[in-house]
């Protein structure tokens, strides 16, 4: 049964990308365990505003775990201690009375801090722009049922496509690698006949962009998979490696 | 050149060189086991692998494998540290199901390398290297021993407790390095999927255990043998 | 009173769109390169329009309020997208989809628009499959369908419980491709604050860069608004935190008509409110009603016992349960349209049969489905939704029934557009949920995705050319023109005013108060007295806001509270317009339910003789009552009937 708890927060505050940040400590009383983690932060901000201070800046939008905007590193875990959830789906019932909760932004060279807990993830967009698509224009496409796709392939593609681009993979990776994100998109499209046509080109272009943007090299620690709120599997990384290596060998 | 420029290419070099070193380990283990059964056989192998041109060539290739693996490990680790950014997490917890070894491969590699230097100074330097520099006998514990008499070397070193303990520590580090390295190499080549993931991990564990226990067995065998002296034999 | 012309083409219903396309003006490829189009928003409508226009050769400037176009709130749609493919051979057709949509909208939508929507629905599915959207498939490799509320056929295509996400990512990938090719210039973390009108035509926008706080000017030959709906007027809704009505509201203030603002959809299956601190509500997909059965206890005593925790729902015997939707609507049962299901839930709770600690919840029970299909099948179909529910409520829906309650979800009303999706300001277009749409007074499930993508992929890219064809001689506009300077000045003054208030209340507390007023007086059941009270209260709240809001920080900086304040200022005014429209529409239709106008059985009672029109509100100036113009809805092809989901 949910009760009310008192907690201490250690929150990373940083004015801008080039400024030095530091932890600030805040105390919150009577937080209902039924509230979500972000609602708890709303309460903190309300308190700060009432005290005439600047509220903590953090990214969030849909608050139902699908938009991928929220991005907090809570007590040493991307998206907090619960599994298979985003920060916005994390609830305070995961914490106990008297707990100290440390909240940090994603830390990765690929995701510079904008302010406090808000980071810049436009690198992921750039990787998508390099090749995360099927090159078809609107109109003039065949009927949707013209090419049957084995259910197994469609399901696997859907598993990979569930990625929400939140950046937890790179944030949790000790190498700052974006391989899980890239492999999810490459896998989704490589598994479907529509995307198969330019699969080789896509794998090469997306990996090249990922490397160019300074993401690290995957060493298969699987931390990405374990911290991924959508349970994207590292078998996608194996597939990306396969796609990439065979594409390069064919060149 | 994509092998040298791309992240996956660089990883592939780590993977292939790692697998090559794994093969060598298997070969080395077989050789050691031979010593348990017959010291003469072992000495024959040592002679065979002495300063012959094929053995030297093999050694050079092997050395190249090591160097590539080590150089790339350093290179990739530096790159990865840079990619991690300047600010570190104040609190960082290893997620459940992430192997400790997977996050500490470089450190484990360093330990393995450190012992390798010891091992080289004890065996290779006094055997193949000595031979190449024109010596046919080296000093070992006050006695002169032929450079191809491998079994004598084994018996000499593994009769000393601190060396035995050091070697056992080495095998432990190697075990950790192998449990991750083996399946990771296959993952990097792309030979993996959700079903094989668990299989490869089990195979990795079994393989690493067999190899490391094998080496440990030989080491302990000769230590015990030295304890009971000639009485046992 | 001026009658408003929708510019609907003449001719038989089924030929209107074909004829329009055959005779409309086009822009040749060389000229397309010389024309710029601003698209605000990157949801299904915005992203698909931006991508399609860029593919055709136009230069597109695309604006997005989030950090990436992939995060637009279309992503949260769960259930599916409708199309008249008739793959299931169950009697579907373009006409039937059209008819269901018109009927579902309680005969308050424009016939020609809806028919066009049904017509292009099939192309959407083709397009998405070609983009690599992983729709659910059967073992034979062909696409699977499910059924949704308000239809007797299975025409809904889906990708697990994440259809909106997959469709948006499809559109986002097409958009990404165009950004990569340099045809779309993308502006992330920018919020549109005003539209700039030059000589009566929309020629640009003013934005605020949300990172630097800088006010920026952008010009183009045409402006397209795809900024979604205004459900967040009610504070608690299923919309995302940044979803807002400000872009549409600024268009309204610059002269675009705002159509049918009172038509707000209240979705029946949301997770109930759990406390004062709640920031938003979470939707449980309508698809759950395929297999879930909705009920409350038959006896008030049992309901009370449940509310106080003395009784568990599983302890209530089958004969003591009231499956009220199945009882009242035998033909459609649990799959009645959303407005009907929501009102029925409210009726039961008002009568004292509600469950949950607050009494504001009903059960959605899967016990029968699990018995019939097995837990595995249920898990396959709804696994992710069940998991989502369990994470929020901490209750296992496989064992105890889910609790649900209606919540604000979608707004059928929006900026008025003609058949070409152009607003009453030439050169200003509105697409997706931002326009007053094809859904009339109520939207059917799985139709929002359909409309967003129809507008963006297949309608606007054609119709906008009819406008732009006349613009090829018009050179690019400088953003130093006085109109831009004026607009920027006004925004700066507004921001200054807000920053100087330095009052006592945070933006959120005032927004919550707005939400309470809206939900209590302009919510599911409205009446004259309540609406008048609401207008009074909203005016007081507006004064309170402009004299007592507290915004910390600086204006020329990243300032989340300022962003929220700017949106809230518009929400308060929008709330008043919603109330005005609801007051004016003295009938019940779809999502708009006036307590005074209901049948003896409590169903919505329309008055077609008096209210068969689109109410188009025209802004008259600060603190002046708006004026309403009417676009008559003359039905040529469908006979209006009392909606009947009973038999």
Task: List CB contacts (< 8 A) between B7 and chain A.
Answer: 177, 179, 207, 210-211, 215-218
Are residues C401 and C313 in contact, defined by beta-carbon separation less than 8 angstroms?
yes
Q: Do C76 and A149 touch (CB under 8 A)?
A: no
Q: Is this model's pTM higher than 0.80 or not?
A: yes
3-state secondary structure at position C90: coil
Q: Half-sphere exposure of residue A120, counting CA atoms within 13 Å on the CB side?
A: 17
pLDDT given for residue B232 in this prediction: 55
Are residues C430 and C424 in contact, defined by beta-carbon separation less than 8 angstroms?
no
Nearest to A221 among B3, B103, B193 (CB): B103
Q: Do C173 and A57 touch (CB under 8 A)?
A: no
Q: Which residue of A40, A94, A144 to mutate against C (max C Cβ within 10 Å)?
A: A144
Q: What is the rounded CA–CA span in Å between residue C170 and residue C161?
A: 16
Is some CB atom of chain A closer than 8 A to the CB atom of B206?
no
Q: Do A142 and C394 touch (CB under 8 A)?
A: no
Closest residue in chain C to residue A205, using alpha carbons only: C180
**Statement to judge: residues A207 and A106 lie in one domain:** no
**Statement to judge: residues A12 and A74 lie in one domain:** yes
Q: Do A23 and B90 touch (CB under 8 A)?
A: yes
Count of C-beta atoms within a 10 Å radius of residue A84: 14
3-state secondary structure at position B128: helix
Is some CB atom of chain A closer than 8 A to the CB atom of C136?
yes
Are residues C43 and C74 in contact, defined by beta-carbon separation less than 8 angstroms?
yes
Distance from CA of C628 to the nearest CA of A (A): 34
Closest residue in chain C to residue A159, using alpha carbons only: C134
Is some CB atom of chain A closer than 8 A to the CB atom of B97?
yes
3-state secondary structure at position C34: coil
Q: Do B102 and A222 touch (CB under 8 A)?
A: yes
Distance from CA of C552 to the nearest CA of A (A): 6
For C352-386, b/e burial (b = at least 16 CB within 10 A) is ebbbbeebbbbbbbbbebbeeeeeeebeebbebbb
Residues 63-102 of C with CB under 8 A from A: 66-73, 75-76, 85, 87
Q: Do B102 and A243 touch (CB under 8 A)?
A: no
Q: Do A93 and C394 touch (CB under 8 A)?
A: yes
pLDDT given for residue C384 in this prediction: 81
**Statement to judge: residues A33 and A62 lie in one domain:** yes
Q: Which residue of A61, A91, A135 to mutate against C (max C Cβ within 10 Å)?
A: A61
Q: What is the DSSP track for chain A?
A: ---EEEEEEEEEE-SSTTS--EEEEEEEEEEETTSBHHHHHHHHHHHHHHTTPPPPP----SSSS-S----EEETTEET-SSSS--GGG-BGGGS-TT-EEEEEE---TTS-EEETTEE--HHHHHHHHHH-S----SS----TTSS---HHHHHHHHHHHT-----HHHHH-TT---HHHHHHHHHHHHHSHHHHTTHHHHHHHHHHHHHHTT--------HHHHH-TT---THHHHHHHHHHHHHHHH-
Question: What does DSSP say about strands C190-198 and C201-209: parallel, antiparallel, or unpaired?
Answer: antiparallel
Nearest to A235 among B10, B98, B197 (CB): B197
Which domain covers residue B177, as residue numbers? Answer: 2-89+105-231
Q: Do A158 and C166 touch (CB under 8 A)?
A: yes
Phi, psi of C56 (to 5 degrees): -70, -20
pLDDT given for residue C2 in this prediction: 63
CATH of the domain at A65: 3.10.20.30
Count of C-beta atoms within a 10 Å radius of residue C483: 17
Are residues C110 and C633 in contact, defined by beta-carbon separation less than 8 angstroms?
yes
pLDDT given for residue C179 in this prediction: 98
Q: Do B84 and A234 touch (CB under 8 A)?
A: no
Instruction: For residue A59, give Cα distances in angstroms to A67, A70, C76, C80, C237.
Output: 11, 5, 17, 27, 19
Asked whether residue B98 is domain-assigned, the answer is no
Taken as a whole, chain B contains a residue count of: 233
Q: What is the rounded CA–CA span in Å between residue A138 and residue B226?
A: 81
Q: Which residues pair with C293 in a beta bridge?
A: C365
**Statement to judge: residues A173 and A235 lie in one domain:** yes
pLDDT given for residue C276 in this prediction: 82
- A–C CB contacts, 8 A cutoff, strictly below: 214
- CA-wise closest residue to B11 among A248, C15, A187: A248
3-state secondary structure at position C149: coil
Residues near C358 by beta carbon (within 8 Å), at least 6 away in sequence: C272, C273, C307
State the fold for domain C267-407: Flavocytochrome C3; Chain A, domain 1 (3.90.700)
Chains in contact with chain C (at least 3 beta-carbon pairs closer than 8 A) = A
Taken as a whole, chain C contains a residue count of: 647
Are residues A160 and A184 in contact, defined by beta-carbon separation less than 8 angstroms?
yes
**Statement to judge: residues A143 and A243 lie in one domain:** yes
CATH of the domain at A149: 1.10.1060.10
Q: Which residue of A36, A66, A162, A209 to mutate against C (max C Cβ within 10 Å)?
A: A66
Q: Which residue of B4, B7, B14, B178 to mutate against A (max A Cβ within 10 Å)?
A: B7
Work out the burial of residue C630: count CB atoms within 10 Å of its CB; fewer than 13 is exposed, 13-18 middle, 19 or more buried. middle
Distance from CA of B141 to the nearest CA of A (A): 44
Nearest to C66 among A52, A61, A128 (CB): A61
Q: What is the DSSP track for C543-607?
A: HHHHHHB---S-SSS--HHHHHHHHHHHHHHHHHHHHHHHHH--S-BTTB-BTTSB-TTS-B---
What are the residue boundaries of the structural domains of chain C, listed by start?
A: 267-407
Distance from CA of A33 to the nearest CA of C (A): 11
Question: Are A and C touching by the rule of 3+ CB pairs within 8 Å?
Answer: yes
CATH of the domain at B71: 1.20.1300.10
Q: Which residue of C173, C182, C502, C503 to mutate against A (max A Cβ within 10 Å)?
A: C173
3-state secondary structure at position C172: helix
- Residues in chain C, pLDDT under 70: 1-2, 647
Q: Do C173 and A133 touch (CB under 8 A)?
A: yes
Count of C-beta atoms within a 10 Å radius of residue A211: 19
Closest residue in chain A to residue C210, using alpha carbons only: A114
Task: List CB contacts (< 8 A) between A161 and chain C.
Answer: 133-134, 159, 166, 169
Phi, psi of C370 (to 5 degrees): -70, -40
Q: Do A21 and B102 touch (CB under 8 A)?
A: no
E strand spans, C77-229: 81-82, 156-157, 184-187, 190-198, 201-209, 215-219, 222-225
Nearest to A104 among B89, B97, B197 (CB): B89
Catalytic residue numbers of C? 338
Task: List CB contacts (< 8 A) between C506 and chain A.
Answer: 46, 49-50
Q: What is the dihedral of CA C262, C267, C270, C275, to 10 degrees?
A: 20
Domain ends where: A54, A82, A115? A115
**Statement to judge: residues A181 and A71 lie in one domain:** no
Are residues C442 and C104 in contact, defined by beta-carbon separation less than 8 angstroms?
yes
Which domain covers residue A181, as residue numbers? Answer: 121-250
**Statement to judge: residues A53 and A129 lie in one domain:** no
Q: What is the rounded CA–CA span in Å between residue A6 and residue A11?
A: 16
For chain B, what percent of residues have pLDDT higher than 70?
98
Question: Are B and A touching by the rule of 3+ CB pairs within 8 Å?
Answer: yes
Distance from CA of C622 to the nearest CA of A (A): 30
Are residues C279 and A39 in contact, defined by beta-carbon separation less than 8 angstroms?
yes
Instruction: For residue C497, give Cα distances in angstroms to A46, A55, C223, C551.
Output: 22, 21, 28, 11
As for how many domains chain B has, the answer is 1
Is some CB atom of chain A closer than 8 A to the CB atom of C58?
no
Q: Do A21 and B87 touch (CB under 8 A)?
A: yes
Is some CB atom of chain A closer than 8 A to the CB atom of C409?
no
Q: Do A226 and B96 touch (CB under 8 A)?
A: yes
Measured over the CA atoms of residue A142, residue A147, residue A151 and residue A154, the dihedral's sign is: negative
Q: What is the rounded CA–CA span in Å between residue A230 and residue C460?
A: 34
- CA-wise closest residue to A126 among C53, C437, C186: C186
Asked whether residue B140 is domain-assigned, the answer is yes
3-state secondary structure at position C444: coil
Nearest to A223 among B95, B189, B194 (CB): B95
Element (H, E) at C253: helix C246-253
Closest residue in chain B to residue A111, using alpha carbons only: B85
User: pLDDT band for position B143 (50/70/90)?
Assistant: confident
| Residue bearing the bigger pLDDT, C445 or B208 | B208
Distance from CA of B106 to the nearest CA of A (A): 10
Cα C495 from chain centre: 28
Q: What is the DSSP track for C264-325?
A: EEEEEEEPPP--TT-----B--GGGGGT-EEEEESSHHHHHHHHTTSS-GGGS-GGGEE-HH
Give residue B29's region: left, alpha or beta (phi > 0; psi -120 to 50). alpha
- A–B CB contacts, 8 A cutoff, strictly below: 148
Nearest to C173 among A57, A115, A132 (CB): A132
Is some CB atom of chain A closer than 8 A to the CB atom of C235?
no
Task: List CB contacts (< 8 A) between A153 and chain B.
Answer: none
- Residues in chain A, pLDDT under 70: 1
Is some CB atom of chain A closer than 8 A to the CB atom of C267?
no
- Whose tokens are 């393989």? That residue is B207
Q: Do B191 and A109 touch (CB under 8 A)?
A: no
Q: What is the dihedral of CA A201, A206, A207, A209, to 10 degrees?
A: 120
């Amino acid at each position: 049964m949910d009760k009310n708890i008192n907690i201490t927060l250690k929150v990373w505050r940083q004015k801008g990308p080039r400024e030095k940040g530091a932890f600030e400590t805040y105390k919150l009383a009577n937080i209902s365990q039924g509230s979500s983690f972000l609602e708890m932060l709303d309460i903190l901000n309300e308190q700060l505003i009432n005290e005439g201070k600047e509220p903590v800046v953090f990214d969030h939008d849909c608050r139902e775990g699908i938009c991928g905007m929220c991005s907090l590193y809570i007590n040493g875990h991307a998206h907090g201690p619960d599994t298979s959830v985003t920060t916005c789906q994390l609830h305070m019932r995961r914490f106990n009375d008297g707990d100290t909760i440390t909240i940090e932004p994603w830390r990765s060279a690929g995701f510079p801090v904008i302010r406090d807990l808000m980071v810049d993830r436009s690198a992921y967009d750039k990787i998508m722009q390099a090749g995360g698509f099927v090159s078809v224009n609107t109109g003039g496409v065949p009927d949707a049922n013209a090419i049957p796709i084995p259910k197994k392939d469609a399901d696997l593609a859907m598993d990979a496509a569930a990625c929400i681009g939140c950046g937890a993979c790179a944030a949790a990776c000790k190498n700052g690698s974006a391989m899980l994100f890239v492999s999810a998109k490459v896998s989704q499209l490589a598994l479907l006949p529509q995307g198969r046509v330019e699969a080789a080109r896509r794998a090469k272009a997306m990996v090249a962009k990922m490397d160019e943007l300074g993401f690290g090299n995957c060493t298969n620690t699987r931390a990405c998979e374990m911290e991924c709120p959508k349970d994207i599997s590292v078998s996608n990384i194996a597939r990306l490696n396969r796609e990439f290596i065979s594409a390069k060998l064919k060149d | 050149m994509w092998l040298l420029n791309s992240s996956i290419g660089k990883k592939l070099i780590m993977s292939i060189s790692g697998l090559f070193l794994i093969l060598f380990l298997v070969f080395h283990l077989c050789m050691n086991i031979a010593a348990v059964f017959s010291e003469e056989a072992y000495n024959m192998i040592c002679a065979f692998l002495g300063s012959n041109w094929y053995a030297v060539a093999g050694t050079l290739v092997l050395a190249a494998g090591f160097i590539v693996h080590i150089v790339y490990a350093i290179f990739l680790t530096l790159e990865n540290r840079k990619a991690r950014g300047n600010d570190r997490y104040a609190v960082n917890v290893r997620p459940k199901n992430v192997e400790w070894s997977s996050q500490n491969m470089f450190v484990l590699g360093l330990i393995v390398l450190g012992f390798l230097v010891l091992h080289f100074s004890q065996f290779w330097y006094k055997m193949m290297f000595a031979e190449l520099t024109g010596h046919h006998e080296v000093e070992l514990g006050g006695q002169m021993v032929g450079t191809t008499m491998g079994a004598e070397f084994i018996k000499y070193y593994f009769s000393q407790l601190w060396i035995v303990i050091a070697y056992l520590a080495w095998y432990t580090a190697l075990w950790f390095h192998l449990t991750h390295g083996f399946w990771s190499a296959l993952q990097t080549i792309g030979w993996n999927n959700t079903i094989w993931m668990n299989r490869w991990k089990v195979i990795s564990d079994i393989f690493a255990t067999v190899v490391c226990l094998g080496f440990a067995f030989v080491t302990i065998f000769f230590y015990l043998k030295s304890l009971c002296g000639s009485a046992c034999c | 009173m001026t009658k408003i012309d929708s510019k609907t083409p003449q001719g038989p219903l089924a030929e209107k769109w074909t004829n329009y396309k055959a005779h409309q003006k086009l822009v040749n490829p060389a000229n397309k390169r010389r024309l710029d189009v601003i698209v605000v928003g990157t949801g299904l409508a915005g992203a698909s329009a931006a991508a399609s226009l860029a593919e055709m050769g136009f230069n597109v400037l695309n604006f997005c309020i989030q950090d990436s176009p992939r995060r637009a709130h279309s992503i949260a749609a769960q259930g599916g997208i409708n199309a008249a493919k008739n793959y299931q051979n169950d009697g579907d057709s373009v006409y039937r989809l059209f008819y269901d949509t018109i009927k579902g909208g309680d005969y308050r939508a424009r016939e020609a628009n809806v028919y066009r929507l049904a017509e292009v629905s099939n192309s959407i599915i083709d397009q998405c499959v070609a983009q690599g959207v992983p729709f659910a498939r059967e073992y034979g490799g062909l696409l699977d369908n499910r059924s949704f509320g308000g239809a007797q056929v299975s025409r809904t295509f889906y990708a697990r419980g994440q259809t909106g996400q997959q469709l948006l990512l499809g559109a986002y990938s097409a958009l990404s491709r165009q950004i990569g090719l340099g045809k779309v210039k993308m502006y992330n973390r920018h919020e549109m604050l005003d539209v700039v009108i030059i000589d009566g035509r929309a020629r640009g926008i003013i934005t605020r860069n949300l990172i630097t706080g800088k006010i920026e000017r952008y010009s183009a030959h045409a402006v397209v608004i795809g900024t979604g709906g205004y459900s967040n007027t009610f504070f608690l809704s299923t919309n995302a935190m940044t979803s807002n009505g400000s872009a549409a509201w600024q268009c309204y203030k610059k002269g675009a008509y705002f159509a049918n603002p009172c038509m707000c959809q209240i979705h029946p299956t949301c997770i109930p409110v759990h406390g004062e601190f709640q920031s938003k509500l979470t939707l449980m997909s309508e698809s759950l009603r395929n297999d879930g059965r909705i009920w409350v206890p038959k006896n008030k005593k049992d309901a009370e016992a449940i509310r106080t925790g003395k009784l568990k729902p599983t302890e209530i015997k089958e004969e003591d349960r009231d499956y009220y939707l199945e009882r009242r609507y035998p033909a459609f049962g649990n799959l009645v349209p959303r407005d009907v299901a929501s009102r029925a839930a409210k009726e039961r709770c008002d009568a004292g049969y509600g469950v949950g600690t607050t009494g504001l919840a009903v059960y959605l029970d899967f016990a029968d489905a699990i018995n019939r299909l097995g837990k595995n099948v249920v898990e396959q179909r709804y696994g992710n939704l069940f998991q989502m529910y369990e994470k929020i409520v901490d209750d296992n829906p496989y064992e105890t029934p889910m609790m649900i309650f209606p919540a604000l979800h979608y707004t059928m009303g929006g900026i008025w557009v003609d058949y070409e999706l152009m607003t009453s300001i030439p050169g200003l277009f509105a697409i997706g949920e931002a326009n007053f749409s094809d859904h009339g007074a109520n939207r059917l499930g799985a139709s929002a995705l359909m409309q967003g993508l129809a507008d963006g992929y297949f309608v606007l890219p054609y119709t906008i050319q009819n406008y732009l064809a006349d613009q090829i001689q018009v050179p690019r506009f400088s953003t130093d023109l006085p109109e831009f300077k004026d607009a920027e000045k006004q925004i700066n003054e507004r921001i200054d005013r807000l920053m100087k208030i330095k009052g006592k209340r945070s933006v959120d507390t005032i927004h919550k108060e707005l939400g309470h007023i809206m939900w209590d007086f302009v919510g599911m059941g409205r009446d004259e007295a309540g609406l008048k009270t609401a207008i009074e209260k909203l005016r007081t709240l507006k004064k309170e806001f402009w004299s007592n809001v507290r915004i910390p920080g600086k204006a020329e900086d990243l300032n989340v509270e300022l962003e929220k304040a700017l949106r809230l200022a518009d929400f308060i005014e929008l709330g008043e317009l919603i109330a005005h429209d609801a007051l004016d529409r003295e009938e019940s239709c779809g999502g708009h339910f006036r307590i005074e106008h209901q049948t003896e059985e409590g169903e919505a009672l329309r008055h077609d003789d008096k209210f068969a029109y689109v109410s188009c509100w025209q802004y008259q100036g600060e603190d002046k009552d708006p004026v309403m113009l009417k676009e008559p809805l003359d039905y040529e092809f469908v006979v209006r009937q009392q909606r009947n989901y009973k038999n």
